[in-house]
Amino acid sequence: MVHFSELGLVNTKNIFKKAMEGKYAIPAYNFNNMEQLQAIITGCKETNSSVILQVSSGARKYANQTLLRYMAEGAVQMAKEMGGNFPVALHLDHGDTFELAKSCIDTGFSSVMIDASHHPYEENIKLTKQVVEYAKENDVSVEAELGILAGIEDDVEAAKSIYTDPEQVEDFVTKTGVDSLAISIGTSHGAYKFKPEQCSKNEKGVLVPPPLRFDILEEIEKRLPGFPIVLHGASSVVPKYVDTINRNGGQLKAAVGIPEDQLRRAAASAVCKVNIDSDGRLAVTALIRQVLSDKPAEFDPRKYLGPARAELIELIKHKNVNVLGSANQA
């Protein structure tokens, strides 16, 4: 058993409270390798932002749970060596079983999500409560989900969205004791968040997705005043990265994300955690493809992973400053 405090990590309770008071959102960046982790820590140090390092079940398997523990500890020490003094949490994204959540808690995670939203309502409550009871013994934060997001992210896949029912939120939070709640108001997982027929086009012919359901968010805020809300599937699917990928042999067609102005509006509300995964993947992939296209004889991984890391740092700084409002709030 390794407690998260031994690794220098924090749970999300205090950083969420501060974010809600300051009307900004904490960035939750997914990572799969060392370069992404370095970029997240560097970008958050340079903007003085709290951060949630987010790992899916698939990413945990990819990295190895023991190595991941030391990567998280190393990330905290790296931040300190750079002169940073900002809170860092380690979060399980879309955990789907009690056993997985428990394993993560036992190996140093400071926050876990139990996503039982695909189960019937009462089963969602039962499984979530089981995770909460174990997590509270170790001061670990728990996030759950009501409603279903469409799209694909690792092992999480849904054909269509089911909006969160505001009439369920009070009962769910009371019966489970969760610390935060992920809701469905129109965001989606992956780079293909919307079908072209769901979108309109602007004057430049660019696809524009339907607006988020802020009416649902506002009703949930009324029913759960001061309670931390989470947005999943909140990548903007940055057009320049999609264009770079497609120019260099990629095939990302009709990839559309969530407009940044809508995310900023959400971050100024009860939404105090915003999950960003696809944008990081796109930034890294775009730069790798560009370097290998420009320099086809290159075979040193540092020569293409380095530029990818640098681009991801800039993306993270942009998100923290201009989208989430978390810069200089740590």
Residue type, 78: M
**Residue 226 backbone dihedrals phi, psi, to 5 degrees:** 75, 10
pLDDT digits (tens, 9 = 90+) for 118-156: 899 999 999 999 999 999 999 999 999 998 765 445 555
Q: Which of 315, 325, 260, 327 is nearest to 30 (CA)?
A: 315
Separation of CA 205 from chain center: 29
Q: Which domain holds residue 17?
A: 4-324
Which one is predicted more confidently, 197 or 304?
304
Q: How many of the other CB atoms lie within 10 Å of CB of 122?
A: 9
Q: Which of 143, 316, 325 is nearest to 235 (CA)?
A: 316
Task: Average the pLDDT over 266-282 and give the result.
Answer: 95
With respect to residue 329, please indicate whether it lies within any of the assigned structural domains: no
Q: Kindly report the CATH number assigned to the domain that includes residue 256.
A: 3.20.20.70
With respect to residue 168, please indicate whether it lies within any of the assigned structural domains: yes
pLDDT of amino acid 209: 73
What pLDDT band is residue 195 in, cutting at 50, 70 and 90?
low
Question: Is residue 192 over pLDDT 60?
Answer: no
Question: Is residue 159 over pLDDT 60?
Answer: no
pLDDT digits (tens, 9 = 90+) for 91-112: 999 999 999 999 999 999 999 9
Among 99-113, 182-196, 226-240, the range with the most confident prediction by mean pLDDT is: 99-113
Element (H, E) at 77: helix 65-81
Question: Is residue 167 over pLDDT 80?
Answer: yes
With respect to residue 330, please indicate whether it lies within any of the assigned structural domains: no
Asked if 33 contacts 280 with a C-beta cutoff of 8 angstroms, the reply is no
Task: Average the pLDDT over 26-55 and give the result.
Answer: 98
Length of the chain: 330
Residue 93 known to be catalytic:
yes
Residue position matching structure tokens 């640098």: 310
Q: Provide the percentage of residues in the chain whose pLDDT is more than 90.
A: 81
Question: Is residue 68 over pLDDT 90?
Answer: yes
With respect to residue 238, please indicate whether it lies within any of the assigned structural domains: yes
Q: What DSSP string describes 23-68?
A: T--EEEEE--SHHHHHHHHHHHHHHT--EEEEEEHHHHHHH-HHHH
∠ Cα 44 3 145 (to 5°): 65
pLDDT of amino acid 158: 45
Catalytic annotation, pick one of 93, 96, 115, 277: 93
Question: Is residue 82 over pLDDT 90?
Answer: yes
Instruction: Tokens for 155, please give them.
Output: 């092992």
Residue type, 50: S
Q: Provide the percentage of residues in the chain whose pLDDT is more than 70.
A: 91
pLDDT of amino acid 194: 57
Domain count, the chain: 1
Task: Average the pLDDT over 160-184 and give the result.
Answer: 92
With respect to residue 312, please indicate whether it lies within any of the assigned structural domains: yes
pLDDT of amino acid 153: 53
pTM of the model: 0.93
Average pLDDT, the chain: 92
Q: Which of 155, 65, 151, 157 is nearest to 105 (CA)?
A: 65
Which one is predicted more confidently, 17 or 188?
17
Instruction: Tokens for 46, please give them.
Output: 């340079």
With respect to residue 190, please indicate whether it lies within any of the assigned structural domains: yes
With respect to residue 290, please indicate whether it lies within any of the assigned structural domains: yes
SS3 127: helix
Question: Is residue 210 over pLDDT 90?
Answer: no
Distance separating alpha carbons of residues 233 and 190, to the nearest angstrom: 7
SS3 70: helix
pLDDT of amino acid 282: 96
Distances (CA, A) of 328 to 9, 46, 106, 161: 19, 9, 32, 35
pLDDT of amino acid 187: 78
Q: Which of 146, 153, 143, 57 is nearest to 99 (CA)?
A: 57
Residue type, 281: R
What pLDDT band is residue 183 in, cutting at 50, 70 and 90?
very high
